[in-house]
């Protein structure tokens, strides 16, 4: 069942985010920079705040009473390509490849259309996250930029993708 997040989802959202993030990016094991990041970034309090913020819309996918994926839209991070940012799209690995990501994405485009009159979305993705990039390309997103960022004392690159109607 796909539904808007409720305050009571915040703890599960934090735990799922830590799980998905570490599975995706901690591919060589854990080190302090990664552990510190997930434990400070993905907290119940942060998600409670996010769910309550009008600038955000958090949608969750629930299966048999369990949280298995979510999407977070930011309506106040406009770029020239698209007004609404898909800030997060996470599906638990056990549920990958079952259409949940596509359904959450479609629901996000519909949210953008309802709130802003246009379903266009933009997002940023780590340049080595090949599976996500392939997923977004298949969903009609194209690359429109990139930006470097620092993490744990290293330079990395994020790609900017957008899907325009």
107 binds ligand COA (CB under 6 A): no
Site for ligand COA in 77-106 (CB under 6 A): 89-91, 96-102
Cβ atoms 135, 91 nearer than 8 A: no
CA distance 24 to 16: 12
- Give CA–CA dist 50/78, Å, rounded: 18
CB of 21 to ligand COA, least distance (A): 7
Cα–Cα distance between 134 and 54 in angstroms, integer? 31
Count each helix (H run) and each strand (E run) in the chain, helices first.
5, 7
CB of 151 to ligand COA, least distance (A): 15
* 121-126 and 154-163 strand pairing: antiparallel
Minimum Å gap between C-beta 152 and ligand COA is 18
Q: Verify binding: residue 158, ligand COA, rule CB under 6 A.
A: no
CB of 30 to ligand COA, least distance (A): 17
Contacting residue, 22, 24, 46, 164, with ligand COA by CB under 6 A: 24
Pairing of strands 154-163, 2-4: unpaired
Question: Is residue 119 at the binding interface for ligand COA, with CB under 6 A as the rule?
Answer: no
Among 52, 131, 146, 149, binds ligand COA (CB under 6 A): 131
Rounded to 5°, the CA angle 64-70-72 comes to: 155
Using rule CB under 6 A, residue 157 touches ligand COA = no
Site size toward ligand COA, by CB under 6 A: 20
Enclosing H/E stretch for 141: none
Rounded to a whole number of angstroms, the minimum distance from the CB of residue 53 to ligand COA is 20
Q: Which residues contribute to the site for ligand COA (CB under 6 A)?
A: 20, 24, 89-91, 96-102, 123, 125, 129, 131-132, 134-135, 138
């Amino acid at each position: 069942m796909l539904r808007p997040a409720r305050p009571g989802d915040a703890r599960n959202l934090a735990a799922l985010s830590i799980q998905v993030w570490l599975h995706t990016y901690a591919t060589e094991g854990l080190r302090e920079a990664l552990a510190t990041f997930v434990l400070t970034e993905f907290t119940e309090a942060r998600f409670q705040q996010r769910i309550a913020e009008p600038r955000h819309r958090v949608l969750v996918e629930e299966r048999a009473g369990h949280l298995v994926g979510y999407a977070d839209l930011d309506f106040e991070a406009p770029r020239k390509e698209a007004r609404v940012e898909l800030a997060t799209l996470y599906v638990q690995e056990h549920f990958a490849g079952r259409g949940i990501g596509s359904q959450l994405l479609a629901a996000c485009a519909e949210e953008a259309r309802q709130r802003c009159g246009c379903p266009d979305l933009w997002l940023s993705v780590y340049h080595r996250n090949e599976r996500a990039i392939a997923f977004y390309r298949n969903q009609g997103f194209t690359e429109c930029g990139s930006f470097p960022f620092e993490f744990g004392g290293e330079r990395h690159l994020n790609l900017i993708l957008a899907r325009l109607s």
